[in-house]
Amino acid sequence: MLTLVAYLALIFALLLFLISISIYTLFLIYSSLMGSPYVPTRQKEAELILAEAGLKKGKHLIELGCGDGRILRTAAKKYQLQGLGIDVNLFLILIARTKARWQKLKTIKFQTKNIFATDIRQADYVYLFLMPALIAKLKPKLEKELKPKTIVISHGFAIKGWKNKQYKLLDRRPFSTYYYRLT
Ligand SMILES: C[S@@+](CC[C@H](N)C(=O)[O-])C[C@H]1O[C@@H](n2cnc3c(N)ncnc32)[C@H](O)[C@@H]1O
């Protein structure tokens, strides 16, 4: 009898594991279909990128396609920023919220949303790590909605046509980081 219960418990655990992996994989595919796969910024790089940004306490950071929210969480913890992280991937948003709660970070929020449906007008800083095609589609929105002097940090890929706005480059492997100031 005990062997049967143990056997059933094992089957159940295995099924649960397979279902979780399948759901996670489906969400990852969804992220890619929406414009950018989930590839997190390395934590060490995140610390360096934020240190180079000269962030000011109390300012508002919006992370477009935030994944597990590590940039926003690090900025809130180390620089007392407030802000919003958005991602189309519900699974990643749940992870971001859980980690923020563990870290007792009260000045940041995470929402499941498409970048194009997000109000970005209040941002002082915008962080993105997105594929070039999605950045190209996003560019007109950034130009229309962001206020002058907003800092846009693009990790991985340059924003085409913004060379005159770029004021800093972190030339690193595997990904460089581009800093822009809007006029
Ligand atoms: C390369 S990852 C970057 C994650 C995080 N910013 C980081 O640096 O660790 C890109 C993220 O953008 C999200 N994404 C892709 N297309 C999106 C869209 N149209 N709207 C919102 N988020 C999107 C993906 O789900 C993924 O989490």
28 and 81 inside one domain:
no
Q: Whose CA is nearest to atom 23 of ligand 1?
A: 65
Q: What is the pTM of this model?
A: 0.91
Here the tokens at position 15 are 């099924």
Q: Report CA-CA distances (Å) from 123 to 11, 79, 127.
A: 49, 16, 10
| 89 C-alpha to ligand 1 centroid (Å) | 8
Q: Report the C-alpha gap between 15 and 99 in whole angstroms.
A: 26
Q: Report the C-alpha gap between 54 and 41 in whole angstroms.
A: 19
| 87 C-alpha to ligand 1 centroid (Å) | 6
47 and 29 inside one domain:
no
pLDDT at 179 over 90: yes
The total number of structural domains in the chain stands at: 2
83 and 173 inside one domain:
yes
- With respect to residue 38, please indicate whether it lies within any of the assigned structural domains: no
- With respect to residue 99, please indicate whether it lies within any of the assigned structural domains: yes
Range of the domain at 11: 1-33
66 and 127 inside one domain:
yes
pLDDT at residue 57, rounded to an integer: 95
**Closest-CA residue to 100 (of 69, 123, 126, 55):** 69
Encode pLDDT of 127-171 as tens digits.
999 999 999 999 999 999 999 999 999 999 999 999 999 999 999
Identify the three-state secondary structure at position 177. Answer: strand
15 and 91 inside one domain:
no
pLDDT at residue 103, rounded to an integer: 97
CA 113 to chain centre: 12
87 and 8 inside one domain:
no
Cα four-point dihedral sign 18, 19, 20, 23: positive
Q: Report the C-alpha gap between 164 and 162 in whole angstroms.
A: 5
| 2 C-alpha to ligand 1 centroid (Å) | 47
